[in-house]
Amino acid sequence: MTNPSTEQSFNAHEFRRALGNFATGVTIVTAVSPEGEKVGVTASSFNSLSMDPPLILWSSIKEARSCAIFESASHFAVNILASDQMDMSNHFARQQEDKFAGIDWEEGVGGAPIFPNCAGRFQCEAYDKLDGGDHWIFVGKVVAFDDYGRPPLCFHQGSYSMVFGHPGGTAKSDNEAAKITSDGRMDDHIFFKMLQAVRAYQASYSPRLKILGLTLIESRTLLVLNDMPRTAAEEFAAHINGPLPEVREALLNLTERGMIAEDKGVFELTKSGLAGASDVWDLADSYESEAFEGISSRQMSTFLDVLHKIIGT
């Protein structure tokens, strides 16, 4: 019998998209070299490994400039980001001379920087380094940790996300179930309703982008560059609501397809990219008409006013 895992030839971009179905947390891993040079990188490869001894792992691409410091460091720290630390994630994903300038941090075990207001923190001594193809897998033995219980920042299918408990995930007693049903607070809570609405909207809209051969983050990239031409990746990453490494991946994919051109670190749409952005707008407008069918223009105007008020625009 043929083993598909050994015979199939993978398309790298499609493989990455498939991996994006696995939701992950977002961390900043830090360390300091024997010479005192600090390093910090945004990583979603963190995972638990062992309880006895207490081991965790994460991985770094071998060619990364920071990798040599992690290889030589005696300790490293994993800072699990909270849901309101998206800017921290993007900040440490950028290449810059001093990532720690202007950042609130303190020295942890072995000198590895640790940050306040995280969801959790793990301070580790270097335990092992394993070869993982184009990555090094770093294993750390946890020597100290903090559990703040804050909602974590997550990443799924090219976008930042947040975690909410699944209504069917926890068994409730009859009394507890009756109380939840009688209160019905989530049924009328605006915040939860907005989240449900966005998820329902994207669940139907995202698959339609496959017609155009685009991921959600690639389509957002085209639309942002259509409105903000000649822009650096760092400047419009926030508008795309995705981690900077994924934005760069989308830019690379679209550049290889001839839809985007780069000039000294800034990007703009090519003729093909402008046509692609137009196609995305057509698809978005078509789905909007379908999704809001039966809603009057007056209701839509009020709805948009409410959204602008919440956003602050």
> How far from the centroid of its chain's Cα atoms is residue 128's Cα?
27
Residues 184 and 149 in one domain: no
| Domains in the chain, number | 2
Residue 7 has pLDDT above 60, yes or no: no
pLDDT in tens, 219-260: 888 988 888 888 777 776 667 767 777 777 788 889 888 999
Cβ-contact 142, 108 below 8 angstroms: no
Span of 178-182, 198-202, 285-289 with lowest mean pLDDT: 178-182
Percentage, residues of the chain above pLDDT 90? 35
Mean model confidence pLDDT for the chain: 82
Is 164 part of a structural domain of the chain?
A: no
Report the percentage of the chain scoring pLDDT > 70.
85
Q: Please answer whether residues 246 and 158 qualify as being in contact, where contact means their C-beta atoms are separated by less than 8 angstroms.
A: yes
Q: Does 151 share its domain with 188?
A: no
Query: Given a cut of 50, is residue 179 above it in pLDDT?
Result: no
Print the domain residue range for 77.
Answer: 8-155
- Is 267 a member of any domain? yes
**226 belongs to a structural domain:** yes
Question: Which pLDDT score is estimated for 123?
Answer: 96
- Residues for the chain: how many in total? 313
Residue 160 forms part of a structural domain: no
How far, in Å, are 72, 166, 241, 244 from residue 203 at the CA level? 44, 17, 17, 23
Q: For position 193, what pLDDT does the model report?
A: 79
Confidence of residue 171 (pLDDT cuts 50, 70, 90): very low
More confident residue, 5 or 227: 227
Co-location of 205 and 149 in the same domain: no
Q: What is the secondary structure of 223-264 as a DSSP string?
A: HHHHHS-SEEHHHHHHHHTS-HHHHHHHHHHHHHTTSEEEET
Q: What is the mean pLDDT of residues 132-148?
A: 92
Q: Does residue 1 lie within any of the structural domains?
A: no
| One domain, residues 125 and 215 | no
Q: pLDDT digits over 253-291, tens only?
A: 898 889 999 888 888 899 999 999 999 999 888 888 888
Question: In terms of domains, do 139 and 213 share one?
Answer: no
pLDDT band, very low/low/confident/very high, at 176 (cuts 50, 70, 90): very low
Q: Indicate the pTM of the whole model.
A: 0.63
The interaxial angle of helices 271-291 and 216-227, nearest 10 deg, is 110
Asked whether 142 and 56 are in contact (CB, 8 A), the reply is yes
- Domain end marker among 110, 140, 155: 155
